[in-house]
Structure 1
Amino acid sequence: MIATSCSIMAGLIASWFVAGALVAPSPRVIGDPPRELNATSFTVNSESGSVVSGWQTQPHSGNGVIVLLHGIHGSRLSMLERARMLHDAGYATVMIDFQAHGESPGDTITIGYLEQHDVRAAVEFARREHPGEPIGVIGVSLGGAAALLASPLQIDALVLESVYPNIHDAIHNRVAAKLGPLASIPASMLLLQFQPRLGFSPQELRPIDHLPGVGCPVCVASGSEDRHTTASETQAMFSAAPEPKRLWLVDGAEHVDLFRKDPIQYRERIVGFFDEYLRGDREAPASPGVFGKR
């Protein structure tokens, strides 16, 4: 009995430190904005409580603006290559560091709960800086979850990359990737910490519930071998999205940067999606809604 109690206590302590590492702030020095993208720095106040730092880039044409939202423990630098690609395609971009990431202050990463306010601040900044232009969003993992939690954003197109449908499955999948069949108990221990550590319940982190009301075309993308956001979960996200919508399962990809995995296909699929719904380029056939694997 004593041994069992000690084991349970040890498990709780271990899971507390594991969770602490997951949600600990991820600051970093970003450096100067890239001159070749005609980029400038900015800050905006967010209702997350942070002063959100970012860059905006401006091409010579005015085809629209894309807000780029990085994944957990990333920063705007994680989205820089996408910004270069979009700049070449004639799109302005707005890149931010979420609260508790990069150069934006914050005490704790909240897996989308507070970050949703940063998304709203970034979209409103894009709207002010580019009045009358269409707005798109690319959200990667945490970034996509935060964008959904913030929806509807009154934007014109949304790309979701490797976005978890609900935090319960997201935690279980990540623990199972490490521990296999033994994942259930430690995953439950991690979920029990949300209220005392973060001040909200796991039920408040269900991005999939917000998909039907996004109010714009959606492209859902993920790796076919992603163990963090599985192919079946991605299919569920796609099913929940309103029409018009697209699905891209990247053959053989795990929970990785999909742009780096296949930049040529990424440009074809994602820039093509924005060209269709932001610029009205409908020369290429848009149906069916499933891009398929590659």
Structure 2
Amino acid sequence: MKKFWLTLLALLGVVVIGLFGAGMYFYHVAVVPGPKNFISNQSALKPSDPLYQQKKWFRDAKKRHWYETTADGLKLDADYIPAAHKTNKTAVIAHGFMSRKEEMGAYAAMFHQLGYNVLLPDNRGHGASQGNVIGFGWLDRRDYLQWAREVVQKNGHNSEIVMFGISMGAAGMVMASGEQQLPQIKAYAVDSPYTSVEDEITYEAKQQYNLPKYPLVPITSLVTKVRAGYSFGEASAVKQVKQNHKPIYFVTGTGDTFVPHYMTKKLYQAAHSPKEMWLVPGAAHVMSFSKEPVAYQQHIKQFLAKYVQ
């Protein structure tokens, strides 16, 4: 009998060690910054790109560097481009997972054409900003609000600020919307946000590795809580948007297989503030602007015109 229990304990130990090792592996895949084989960031300018002119404008535009230091001591980097004509309108533009501010040039050009100053931060752990972990929007939500405070400090208390993001940046902006708001923040606009980090990690585990949620997602979440300071479950855009009182615009593509459009629909349904949603037929992940560049800008313009003067 003693031998049986010893064998059982040994087997349990092997299982626990194996699960912990798997959790550490997926923590590094998902939460540690670095190249990811399941995403590709293509920065090269191609004349065939429907957004070529916008991206070229951003590449050539003269930029100012802004910096902020987070509450936990990280130095974050951003590019600022003033509007062609002096204005109190500024758009804070957030990029996606393992992307960087330079890849948000088309959106910067869109807001610039709409008469806005534009501020494009690099998220913590991305681009020129410091950080050893990916915040998945949850750690970034307060950074975005701090950037908004920086806009007010530099551009004046009469600033009118729009908070915009795509993918992870969109989820982070939705998460930010549930925090205490500056009066200068007039509206949010988000493209392809996920409902929570837990939902997105669970979805990708199935898509990329054909793995169920249990037990690896909770174990990886525990590792993330210990090493990065947050769990997947607490990082919920759904819970945050329920606390939001600012107008919010949602857009997503029905052909999105990275952050499925049902997540955006769930967020829209959970929001209680003034809201609108546009589902772009057939558009893949954050490709709605490329698929419908004229309509995309017009939708954003019409929504924001109700709240930003």
Q: Give the TM-score band, short-chain normalised.
A: 0.7 to 0.9
Alignment of 1:13-52 (within 5 A): 13-26=21-34, 36-52=60-76
- Give the letter aligned to residue 68 of structure 2: V
CA distance 1:233–1:35, shift in 2 (3 Å): closer
Aligned partner of 2:173 in structure 1 is: 147
- Give the letter aligned to residue 143 of structure 1: G
Q: Which of 110, 115, 137 does residue 140 from structure 2 map onto?
A: 115
1:278 is the counterpart of 2:308: yes
1:55-111 CA-to-partner distances (Å, cap 9, x unmatched) read 111123216110001111111112111111211221111110111111111121121
Same amino acid, percent of matched pairs: 23
1:242 is the counterpart of 2:272: yes
Q: Secondary structure at the match of 1:93?
A: strand
Whether the 8 Å contact between 1:174 and 1:227 is mirrored in structure 2 is no
- Give the letter aligned to residue 298 of structure 2: E
Aligned partner of 1:86 in structure 2 is: 111
- Give the letter aligned to residue 83 of structure 1: A
1:53 is the counterpart of 2:77: yes
Moved more, 215-224 or 190-199: 190-199
Aligned partner of 1:178 in structure 2 is: 208
Moved more, 108-117 or 120-129: 108-117
Q: In 1, Cα distance between the equivalents of 2:307 and 2:132?
A: 37
Alignment of 1:174-253 (within 5 A): 174-180=204-210, 182=212, 184-253=214-283
Q: Secondary structure at the match of 1:276?
A: coil
CA distance 1:222–1:146, shift in 2 (3 Å): same
Note the residue ranges of structure 1 that are not aligned, 5 or more in a row: 280-294
RMSD: 2.8
CA distance 1:109–1:181, shift in 2 (3 Å): closer
Aligned partner of 2:196 in structure 1 is: 166
Whether the 8 Å contact between 1:166 and 1:206 is mirrored in structure 2 is yes
Q: In 2, Cα distance between the equivalents of 1:6 and 1:35?
A: 53
Note the residue ranges of structure 2 that are not aligned, 5 or more in a row: 1-7, 36-42, 44-56
Q: In 2, Cα distance between the equivalents of 1:130 and 1:120?
A: 15
Q: In 2, Cα distance between the equivalents of 1:70 and 1:222?
A: 15
Aligned partner of 1:282 in structure 2 is: none
Whether the 8 Å contact between 2:83 and 2:117 is mirrored in structure 1 is yes
Q: Structure 1 residue 5: deviation in Å?
A: 7.0
Q: Structure 1 residue 25: deviation in Å?
A: 2.8
Q: In 2, Cα distance between the equivalents of 1:17 and 1:110?
A: 17
Whether the 8 Å contact between 1:44 and 1:53 is mirrored in structure 2 is yes
Q: In 2, Cα distance between the equivalents of 1:79 and 1:167?
A: 22
- Give the letter aligned to residue 172 of structure 2: A
Higher Rg: 2
Q: Structure 1 residue 178: deviation in Å?
A: 2.0
Q: Structure 1 residue 250: deviation in Å?
A: 1.8
Whether the 8 Å contact between 2:100 and 2:122 is mirrored in structure 1 is yes
Whether the 8 Å contact between 1:171 and 1:191 is mirrored in structure 2 is no
Q: Which of 249, 253, 256 does residue 286 from structure 2 map onto?
A: 256
Could you tell me the TM-score, scaled by structure 1's length? 0.82
Moved more, 242-251 or 186-195: 186-195
CA distance 1:190–1:228, shift in 2 (3 Å): farther
- Give the letter aligned to residue 142 of structure 1: M
1:98 is the counterpart of 2:106: no
Q: In 2, Cα distance between the equivalents of 1:206 and 1:125?
A: 26
- The alignment of Structure 1 onto Structure 2 pairs a total of residues equal to 276
1:70 is the counterpart of 2:95: yes
Whether the 8 Å contact between 2:58 and 2:106 is mirrored in structure 1 is no
CA distance 1:64–1:21, shift in 2 (3 Å): same
